[in-house]
Structure 1
Amino acid sequence: MDTNSNTDELVLVTGGAGFIAVHCILQLLNAGHRVRATLRDLNREAVVRSMLREGGVEAGERLTFIQADLSSDAHWKEAVKDCAYVLHVASPTPKLNFKHEDEMIIPAREGVLRVLRASRDAGIKRVVLTSAIGAIVYGHPKQTTPYDETVWTDTTHAPAYQKSKTLAERAAWEFIEREGGKLELSVVNPAAVMGPVLGPDYSHSIYLIKNLLTGKMAGCPKINSCFVDVRDVADLHLRAMLDLKAKGERFIATGGESIWLVEVAKILKAHLGNKADKVKAMQLPNTVLRIAALKDPMVKSMVPLLGTPMNLTSAKAIELLGWSPRSSKEAILAAAESLIRLNLL
């Protein structure tokens, strides 16, 4: 890997209590970096340190925290001070009961611009932005060829959360082009993030596994998705941060070809024995989901995906950066086993 770094450099990780962020912090510390993490509430520091211990790292003084919120200019100048890189992982999570989509779009876009402005002014080398496949796969006619990084979501036909991810990433690229100065940008677009949970904070994708294991799902809607292990997402962030070839590039993160949700349920039943007794590995008729969507906003956002292939390729990250992800099956089972082990069901 062609790098522009020495390992002792200080790295800022935004949204330090988040699922992907904690795994990024773990890998940065293991690689010898010092880390500063932003939290909206500094009372969360103990939770983050506990999750890192679950991941095998006692961070000590090599990890510090600063209070900063994406919705405010306060403290971002101090947050980026003396850092060499920024991993901008923080993003507003999906809101279910929003009155207007701008409740998600504005914080996501303005938050990205706050971080980029502060990074440029502080002389940061490179920002790695955590985007999502939501910025790629929505609003297109059905296609059988895998989506790659050249594709962008059509925001006229995207749910609010995916629209917010798309517009925030577009705003980031436009900022770099127009007023970024010497600041470099790389972007990681993960598929549904699985892998080992370290504590009570985990990605909304993992609720799928939780709902299957607890029997909350009466069956599996005909939805297709790619999956990726959070450890590999963190690894790709570090590669995108350090590798000279990652400058100005976006990278899809998937652990393989897309699979239908009923296959996810079958993986759990095949490998978890009686711990998967409540999993219902049967296909639900589309009408069931359409009826549930009338009352549940989260379900409503899934309706456009019914029966739609959502295959993606990570060939770019694999070929350009030497990234080598775990399989989707391994990522799914790691999520399930950690939920069981930590009594989080």
Structure 2
Amino acid sequence: MKNQLVVVTGGSGFIASHIIIQLLQQGYRVRTTVRSSKKIDLVKKLLTQGGITDFSNLSFAKADLTSDKNWENVMKGATYAIHPASPTPTLNFKNEDEMIKPAVNGVLRVLRSARDQGVKRVVLTSAYGAIFAGHKNRTTPYTEEDWSNLEAKNIHPYQKSKTLSEHAAWNFIKTEGNGLELSVVNPVGVMGPVLASDYSHSNIQIQQLLEGKIKAVPNVDSGYVDVRDVASLHLLAMTSSKANGERFLATTGETLSMLDVANILREAFPKYASVLPTKVMPNFLIKLASLFDPQLKMVASLLGVYAETSNKKAVNVLDWHPRSAKDAIIATAQSMIDLGIVN
């Protein structure tokens, strides 16, 4: 059944570009959306870096998640749609609706047009942020059964936007999906090979660590997963009959502190050892700094937060086997060094 058409939204995105690479390698036809035709060359550059040499099965469509324009044509003739694109989070927002509304409306736009054009299944890229936020005194690993508690205090609008847009997706399927199938993938921190200097915000910490910009790390734990494994999980969620109506946590099941990450880099890249941090910054200093620097607000909201996760569902239901967090982190750094992003 290969040669089926799969729509992938936001082809220049970090996860999206790796999904497109795997779809093309497996013989699917891919139509990807770009906000402007200027992005087409970037997408081709990313895919070429990822090993694609033949673009005959790839086409482009101009569409924006903030407008209804052209989505009908985007979905025409597609068997599946994968939706990793999300309106770029504004860090300097005046109110949280600036982050939440575009995310929710974008998801509904994609689902509506997929339903109307007879797409069989949509795979939505949600996030770990829709699972873990707002839970106090947690002692057992997070699973797909968990949802972020939006009633809790100090939830970052990014986590809210991911939670509310995923809720909106499931609600749409239930009330007006007309048989459209949905699967959801919820990745933890996504690492792995960057394909150009235009890459995901979760990789920036690796660049900053290698460049010696972080003198002491915050007390933040996180799960990490390789982008190639996130992409393969999307493909499994797209085709497996067992994945319909299910969400899957994309995690290796390991939890690392920021200091662990620095130590992995120190061991793998001795050349950078002298600039990598060895100390943890006191929580109160980060909280204080976050009052003046909006980029630290998200970090401040994660200080000391429990972050254990389980990948048993993806492993058992979809036979998914991710590489280790250490390998994913090393692959991120190696790609940045190879591309000259880090000197």
Residue 202 of structure 1 aligns to a residue whose secondary structure is: coil
Q: Which amino acid aligns with 1:235?
A: S
Residue 302 of structure 1 aligns to a residue whose secondary structure is: helix
Deviates further, 201-210 or 120-129:
201-210
Q: Does 1:198 align with 2:195?
A: yes
Q: Distance in 1 between matches of 2:151 and 2:275?
A: 39
Q: Which amino acid aligns with 2:41?
A: A
Q: 1:186 aligns with which of 158, 183, 187?
A: 183
Partner of 2:294: 297
Structure 1 residue 25: Cα displacement? 0.1
Q: Which segments of 5 or more consecutive residues in structure 2 lack a partner in the other structure? A: none
Q: 1:237 aligns with which of 234, 237, 260?
A: 234
Residue 107 of structure 1 aligns to a residue whose secondary structure is: helix
Partner of 2:257: 260
TM-score in terms of structure 1 length: 0.97
Partner of 2:115: 120
Structure 1 residues 118-156: Cα deviation after superposition (integer angstroms, max 9, x where no partner): 000111000000000000000011312100001100123
Q: Does 1:154 align with 2:137?
A: no
Partner of 2:60: 65
Partner of 1:8: 3
Deviates further, 275-284 or 184-193:
275-284
Q: 1:275 to 1:312 in 2, by over 3 A?
A: same
Q: Does 1:21 align with 2:35?
A: no
In angstroms, what is the RMSD of aligned CA positions? 0.9
Q: Does 1:38 align with 2:33?
A: yes
Matches within 5 A, 1:28-107: 28-107=23-102
Residue 248 of structure 1 aligns to a residue whose secondary structure is: coil
Q: Distance in 2 between matches of 1:194 and 1:63?
A: 25
Q: Distance in 1 between matches of 2:181 and 2:295?
A: 35
Q: Which segments of 5 or more consecutive residues in structure 1 lack a partner in the other structure? A: 1-5
Q: Which amino acid aligns with 1:114?
A: R
Partner of 2:277: 280
- Runs of 4 or more, structure 1, over 6 Å off, are none
Matches within 5 A, 1:127-166: 127-157=122-152, 158-166=155-163
Structure 1 residue 200: Cα displacement? 2.0
Structure 1 residue 302: Cα displacement? 1.8
Q: Distance in 1 between matches of 2:293 and 2:215?
A: 15
TM-score in terms of structure 2 length: 0.97
Residue 201 of structure 2 aligns to a residue whose secondary structure is: coil
Structure 1 residue 276: Cα displacement? 4.0
Q: Which amino acid aligns with 2:304?
A: G
**Alignment identity in percent?**
51
Paired residues of 1:194 and 1:228 also in contact (CA < 8 A): yes
What is the aligned length? 340
Residue 35 of structure 1 aligns to a residue whose secondary structure is: strand
Q: 2:216 aligns with which of 207, 210, 219?
A: 219
Q: Distance in 2 between matches of 1:257 and 1:73?
A: 40
